[in-house]
Structure 1
Amino acid sequence: MPLGTIDVDIEPLDPESITRGNVNDGNEDGVTPLMRVALTTNDIKHVKSLLRKRANLDQQDKGGNTVLMWVVKSLFRLKNETRCEMKLSILDLLLNRGADVNLADNEGYTPMMIAAMGNDEKSFAKLVNKKAMVELTNQNGETALHLAIKYNASTTIINSLNSFYQKMNVRDNNGHSPFMIASFRRKLDLMRTYHDKGVDINEFDVKGWTALMYAVNCGDADVVNLLKELGADFNLADSHGKTALEIARILQNSTMALLLRKLGAFTNNIETNAWMDKLQKELNLYDFDDKAATFDAHTSESTGIDFELLESEQPVGHNPEVEAETSSSISSQRSTYLLHWASIKLHDMLETFRRIVSPIFSL
């Protein structure tokens, strides 16, 4: 949901008290009588009454919301099926009277984006039928497809949006394509779909990270294994020259490091190689390829690997003969990667909170 919200006066408004002279007058937030009535009533005749008085369908409040936007926002908060159907009839009325389906709010969110974020298949389908534009972007460069994946919309909504794109490499302002967001959300089947459509699975975002690097940062073995299956390059370096294996070492994630090595990752970084050598010796992995043949980062039954040691909170030691980073340097780098991950999660949580917490509590 857009960060800006407007406190809507949800007290019932008698449409008969509104005249043609004041039908488009907004309150201090620019909310018009039509917006108020559309939000607070389930009786379509009240909305029709204001439309007969020439209420402006596309007038925007100070947040850029139109009456269409407010109705779409209200729909996915309603739990009562009867009330949902009544509200959908109001949506149909607005659409049939020519409400602009592509008019965005101040942050660039369109009704289609809101429907996708709210996983509202019915209003989404109605907007598609009215030729709502799927390629529009909000201020973050996100399309309805980005948002549908990000907010775990249904397969129906995502597949509908997929069908409109010839190329699936459209990126938001962070450089994230639908494929990358699918990897963040662990949507493995969707990742396969985009791979089959020819997306670049090794693409870098604006921070110089690939989908693999994010998966390593989050310790997600399923995504890492799938990326290997799809042919991802495990030895690319980020904008700071760090490979996925080096990120695992900085995070002291022994399990992930061993998985990466098993899947073909290597590095010329002296510190990382020294750490890996010591780790393998401590685990008696002298013949690493053979010992790790059945390695799975999600199980403790892998051949020849002591997972209690692998998952120990104690950091693996470093070879004193190798020019090593200081513990403070390692801690600093580890914190950087963790903060990088945490900032993304925090932003998503905040945006979800603002989406769910609405001024329309009585609906």
Structure 2
Amino acid sequence: MRSQQSRIRTRSTLKQAFVLAVGVLTLLVMPACDQISIVPTCPSPETSPSDYADIGSAVWDGNVEAVQRFIDEGSDVNATDLDGNPLLLRPAGRGCSYDISIIEILIDAGADVNATDVEGNPVLHEAIWQSQIEIVRILIDAGADVNARDGDGDPLLHEAIWRKRSEVIQILLDAGADVNARDGDPLLHEAIWRGYPELVRILVDAGADVNARDDDGAPLLHEAVWRDHVEVARILVDAGADVNASEDYRNPHQPEAIFTGNAVIVRILVDAGADVNATGANGNPLLHQAMWRGQINIVQTLVDAGADVNARDGHGAPLLREAVFHGNVELVRFLVDAGADVSAADAYGNPLLHEAILRGQIDIVRTFIDAGADVNATDAFGDPLFHQAIERNRANIAQLLVDAGADVNAMDASGDSILQVARWFGRTEIVEILREAGAVE
């Protein structure tokens, strides 16, 4: 008897494998779509209803008449097939018209719709996996538990989200599936992580907690921002996600948006009330991150929203120094126009003008001077700014300082005149500039 069942099953499997191969080739030339519906391959059973040895082989082969005959003769509809799986499993995943009839016959005869396969997956899981929408409805109407979990302990809704089955998701939710169930992470996390706006909206509309946190303790909005999912972030924010939520190692939300350079997400967060003067775990304000990456459009968004251009980074340096350090003239000018203090000193006591001279950034030096920077300021060692121009042989910058009224007879911290220092370094061009301006030894 068992060998006969095996022969029938093998013949049926080979037939379906051939049809499936043809189906796969067809799918390869079909246009891609957001949600794939599995098209069943349904060869007609060739075995006579009277030739099946048991109900399992009849179900496997899809022979409705034979299945009914076995049930009428008292066969156990809760028996298992050769693999140890419920009789409902095979037709639930295959989804042919005769499978639907078989499922209805088995259910009417008392088959357990919540039975699980050898891996611990409920029958409903198989229908969801194969996107058999009609069968999903039949099983649910017959009492299948929509909040059951698969063999890995994940909610069935997780499977539908992972497979991007929007219609199945809606069916499960309408039947009472817990939208806030977790698989470790909240179910909403899966849709966010994969960047599925349609699914995120379905879950949010069904009551998913947009302020839930993932298994690492991170707010879900972090995931959308970090992965650059603009529409997903917008949906979460519109649904009330806390734009100022933070976590230990990645906070607040905005650094992720700035890191990815997504000005649109930054704008979404700012418009929703994000704190533009918040600092990250390293103590750096948001502006610092944007300056470090040279993202002037994001800097402008933050400044327009009230970010403090005179804030200091986690090391105590003015934010303007970051723009000077990278030689970003456009950014320096924007910050200066926005009110950044050009006479501020860095964490070591060096004026920002000192940094610009050291790096030979003549356009930034000119910008600072035009904005009123003190050309007679001294560095952290007490040396005049001329000192740095001389050491680096920046004759053009020395001329700018002279033209701006810098004291050409200033003394350095050792009591030496600027002219003496220039002669010792052999800076003949600078010596000439200083002498013409009235410098004496």
Tell me, yes or no, whether TM beats 0.5.
Answer: yes
Contact 1:37 1:47 in 2 (8 A): yes
Three-state SS of the structure 2 residue aligned to 1:183 is: helix
The counterpart of 2:286, out of the listed 188, 211, 218, is: 211
Deviation for aligned residue 1:71: 0.8
**1:150 and 2:226 equivalent?**
yes
State the alpha-carbon separation in 2 of the partners of residues 243 and 290 from structure 1: 18
Instruction: Note the residue ranges of structure 1 that are not aligned, 5 or more in a row.
Output: 1-11, 76-86, 293-315, 323-363
Structure 2 partner of 1:177? 252
Structure 2 partner of 1:163? 238
Percent identity, aligned pairs only, is 20
Deviation for aligned residue 1:138: 0.7
Contact 2:113 2:143 in 1 (8 A): no
Summarize the Cα distance change of 1:211–1:55 in structure 2 as closer, same or farther, 3 Å threshold.
same
Summarize the Cα distance change of 1:167–1:69 in structure 2 as closer, same or farther, 3 Å threshold.
closer
Contact 1:175 1:204 in 2 (8 A): no
Kindly report which structure 2 residues correspond to 1:47-62, keeping only aligned pairs within 5 A, or say none. 47-51=136-140, 54-61=143-150
Structure 2 partner of 1:225? 300
Deviations along 1:275-333, whole A, 9 cap, x unmatched? 322335x52655324779xxxxxxxxxxxxxxxxxxxxxxx9987999xxxxxxxxxxx
Kindly report which structure 2 residues correspond to 1:17-166, keeping only aligned pairs within 5 A, or say none. 20=112, 23-25=115-117, 27=119, 31-40=121-130, 42-51=131-140, 54-61=143-150, 64-75=153-164, 87-106=165-184, 108-110=185-187, 112-155=188-231, 157-165=232-240
Summarize the Cα distance change of 1:246–1:144 in structure 2 as closer, same or farther, 3 Å threshold.
same
Deviations along 1:335-358, whole A, 9 cap, x unmatched? xxxxxxxxxxxxxxxxxxxxxxxx
Contact 1:24 1:56 in 2 (8 A): no
State the alpha-carbon separation in 1 of the partners of residues 153 and 284 from structure 2: 34
Structure 2 partner of 1:327? none
Higher relative contact order (CA 8 A, sep 6+): 1
The counterpart of 1:14, out of the listed 83, 91, 99, is: 91
What one-letter code is carried by the residue in structure 1 that aligns with 2:199?
A: S
Structure 1 partner of 2:30? none
Kindly report which structure 2 residues correspond to 1:222-301, keeping only aligned pairs within 5 A, or say none. 222-247=297-322, 253-255=326-328, 258=332, 262=336, 264=340, 266-268=344-346, 269-270=348-349, 273=352, 274-279=354-359, 283=362, 287-289=366-368
Summarize the Cα distance change of 1:192–1:125 in structure 2 as closer, same or farther, 3 Å threshold.
closer
Q: Which has the larger radius of gyration?
A: 2
State the alpha-carbon separation in 1 of the partners of residues 192 and 390 from structure 2: 48
What one-letter code is carried by the residue in structure 2 that aligns with 1:288?
A: T
Deviation for aligned residue 1:190: 4.5
What one-letter code is carried by the residue in structure 2 that aligns with 1:24?
A: T
Instruction: Note the residue ranges of structure 2 that are not aligned, 5 or more in a row.
Output: 1-88, 93-102, 372-388, 394-411, 414-441
TM-score, normalised by the number of residues in structure 1: 0.59
Contact 1:208 1:239 in 2 (8 A): yes
Give the aligned length: 268
TM-score, normalised by the number of residues in structure 2: 0.50
Summarize the Cα distance change of 1:195–1:21 in structure 2 as closer, same or farther, 3 Å threshold.
closer
State the alpha-carbon separation in 2 of the partners of residues 105 and 317 from structure 1: 65
State the alpha-carbon separation in 1 of the partners of residues 364 and 206 from structure 2: 62
Deviations along 1:87-109, whole A, 9 cap, x unmatched? 43322221121111000112x23
Deviation for aligned residue 1:175: 4.9
Summarize the Cα distance change of 1:152–1:26 in structure 2 as closer, same or farther, 3 Å threshold.
farther
State the alpha-carbon separation in 2 of the partners of residues 146 and 49 from structure 1: 38
State the alpha-carbon separation in 2 of the partners of residues 284 and 209 from structure 1: 27
Structure 1 partner of 2:379? none
Computed over aligned residues only, the root mean square deviation of the Cα atoms, in angstroms, reads 3.9
